[in-house]
């Protein structure tokens, strides 16, 4: 039997090891996206609506951090959470929690930068109306975030894509422990190096299917929202 056939057999038969890795990967990545959205969207909106000395520097820095190397983030989180680190007493190194922290740090700049651009464009359109209505700064932020909710799906998808495809940071802080911290990307790397191509290919196929499904759902939601407005 070919490796491709074996990979499909693992998927169609619901291989326990394969789907345990898939569930952990989704739990880690979706948790990181949710946390990053809670931080990144308000941060992006704040930068879009505020004018203060040094703002341009922060915007440039935020855009630069979108390309932050995952291994650098992994190393930084490792140093924080190791026994000799300032947060070592928490004992969460080599756990899914540490992986979520690392992925959240990676995703926040992406969501914040894309949210800033989206909110800034909307603010240019609605500035006069919201100013005339004497809406408070917090009210402006919430109004624009709500109005841009479907456009902000792009930011969330970009964050999820970064998290789902990430290898370096989660391998450093998670340790790639079988049955505990092994994600789809780290498992693909490990199983490929071991020559276990059916499992590696099966995980790769599932990962691609998940990304396509989430993007299709987001696209469908956006089309539906545009029809409702129209």
Q: What is the mean pLDDT of the chain?
A: 88
> For 195, which DSSP code?
T
Mean pLDDT on 221-226: 72
* Count of other CB atoms within 10 angstroms of residue 161: 17
Of 226, 48, 42, 229, give the one whose Cα is nearest residue 121: 48
Q: Would you kindly state where each structural domain of the chain is located, as residue ranges?
A: 3-229
Cα separation, 221 vs 223, in Å, equals 6
Q: Say yes or no to pLDDT of 224 above 80.
A: no
Length of the chain: 230
Q: Where are the alpha helices (DSSP H) in 50-179?
A: 55-65, 70-81, 96-132, 137-147, 153-165, 168-174
Query: Quick one: pLDDT at residue 230?
Result: 54
Q: Does domain 3-229 have CATH number 3.40.50.11540?
A: no
| pLDDT band at residue 39 using 50, 70 and 90 as cut-offs | very high
Cα separation, 139 vs 49, in Å, equals 11
Query: Quick one: pLDDT at residue 30?
Result: 94
Mean pLDDT on 167-190: 90
Mean pLDDT on 87-109: 94
Q: Say yes or no to pLDDT of 113 above 90.
A: yes
Tell me which of 70-79, 176-185, 212-221 is least confident.
Answer: 212-221
Cβ neighbourhood burial of 72 (10 Å; 0-12, 13-18, 19+):
middle
Cα separation, 14 vs 25, in Å, equals 16
Mean pLDDT on 32-44: 95
Q: Say yes or no to pLDDT of 1 above 60.
A: no
Mean pLDDT on 46-74: 90
């Amino acid at each position: 039997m070919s490796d491709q056939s074996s990979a499909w057999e693992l998927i169609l038969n619901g291989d326990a090891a394969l789907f345990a890795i898939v569930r952990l990967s989704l739990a880690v990545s979706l948790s990181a996206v949710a946390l990053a959205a809670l931080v990144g969207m308000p941060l992006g909106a704040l930068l879009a609506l505020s004018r203060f000395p040094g703002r341009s520097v922060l915007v440039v820095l935020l855009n630069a951090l979108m390309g932050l190397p995952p291994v650098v983030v992994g190393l930084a989180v490792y140093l924080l959470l190791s026994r000799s680190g300032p947060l070592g007493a928490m004992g969460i190194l080599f756990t899914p929690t540490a992986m979520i922290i690392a992925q959240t740090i990676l995703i926040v700049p992406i969501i914040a930068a894309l949210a800033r651009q989206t909110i800034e464009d909307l603010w240019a359109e609605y500035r006069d109306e919201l100013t005339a209505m004497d809406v408070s700064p917090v009210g402006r932020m919430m109004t624009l975030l709500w109005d841009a909710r479907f456009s902000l799906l792009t930011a969330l998808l970009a964050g999820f894509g970064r998290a789902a495809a990430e290898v370096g940071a989660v391998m450093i802080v998670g340790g790639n422990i079988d049955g505990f911290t092994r994600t789809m990307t780290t498992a693909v790397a490990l199983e490929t190096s071991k020559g276990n191509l059916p499992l590696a290919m099966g995980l790769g196929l599932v990962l691609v299917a998940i990304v396509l499904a989430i993007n299709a759902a987001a696209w469908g939601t956006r089309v539906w929202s545009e029809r409702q407005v129209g």
